[in-house]
């Protein structure tokens, strides 16, 4: 028998009601009630925290290109994807952005462990995107959705996370973006293995 994570939508359940409201002062605990009681702290523990949308200028001025940041990760996480915000203006050929480099510390910070996610590919003939912050068209792209924890080259792939029974801080890095957020996209399949 395994115990998968059962997601809970807090918008769809009562956050104020009690599990039991019998008038009997000492009711027996029916198995189904114990299951409910057990699920509240367990689901709360393993539900990923909101993936914070960080808005920042990481692209419009020389030297602001790299960005170190971090996220605290709830228990049970396995992999994640990042949402990258871009803003650009079309200008005569001046060299465009072909990819963003990023990493999670758990997945490795150098060599083939570095993730390369495609950059902004827009503009007409003779024009390439020059990154800007305060004005211009914008887009949000997602990093790769394929798991490859031992890559033989820096490719676009899922970010690796620690799978633990307590929250931990995951150091992160990205370059050349105007916004960043991390989404836990895969959790442990069997909580009994946590």
Backbone angles phi, psi at 151, to 5 degrees: -70, 150
Residue 179: strand pairing partners? 55, 85
Cβ 125 to another protein shortest distance, Å: 26
Question: Residue 136 region, left (φ>0) first, then alpha (ψ -120 to 50), else beta?
Answer: left
Cβ 152 to another protein shortest distance, Å: 27
Sign of CA dihedral 98, 104, 109, 111: negative
Cβ 143 to another protein shortest distance, Å: 12
Using DSSP's 3-state secondary structure scheme, residue 166 falls into coil
Say if strands 159-160 and 168-175 run parallel, antiparallel, or are unpaired: unpaired
Nearer to another protein, 39 or 98 (CB): 39
Nearer to another protein, 111 or 126 (CB): 111
Cα 112 from Cα 47, distance rounded (Å):
31
Cβ 37 to another protein shortest distance, Å: 4
Cβ 126 to another protein shortest distance, Å: 25
Nearer to another protein, 87 or 116 (CB): 87
Nearer to another protein, 71 or 115 (CB): 71
Cα 170 from Cα 54, distance rounded (Å):
15
Nearer to another protein, 16 or 152 (CB): 16
Nearest to 73 by CA among 55, 54, 46, 53: 46
């Amino acid at each position: 028998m395994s115990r998968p994570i059962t997601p809970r939508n807090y918008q769809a359940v009562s956050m104020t009601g009690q599990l039991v409201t019998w008038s009997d002062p000492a009711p027996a605990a029916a198995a189904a009630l114990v299951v409910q009681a057990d699920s509240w702290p367990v689901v709360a523990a393993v539900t990923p925290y909101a993936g914070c949308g960080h808005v920042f200028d990481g692209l419009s001025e020389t030297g602001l290109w790299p960005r170190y940041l971090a996220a605290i990760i709830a228990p049970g996480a396995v992999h994640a994807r990042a949402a990258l915000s871009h803003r650009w203006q079309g200008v005569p050929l001046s060299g465009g952005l072909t990819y963003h480099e990023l990493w999670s510390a758990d997945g490795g910070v150098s060599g083939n462990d570095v993730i390369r996610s495609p950059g902004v590919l827009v503009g007409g003939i003779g024009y390439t995107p020059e990154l800007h912050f305060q004005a211009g068209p914008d887009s949000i792209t997602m990093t790769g959705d394929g798991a490859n924890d031992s890559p033989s080259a820096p490719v676009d792939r899922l970010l690796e996370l620690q799978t633990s029974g307590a929250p931990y801080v995951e150091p992160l890095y990205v370059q050349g973006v105007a916004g960043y957020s991390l989404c836990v996209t895969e959790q442990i399949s069997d909580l009994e293995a946590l």
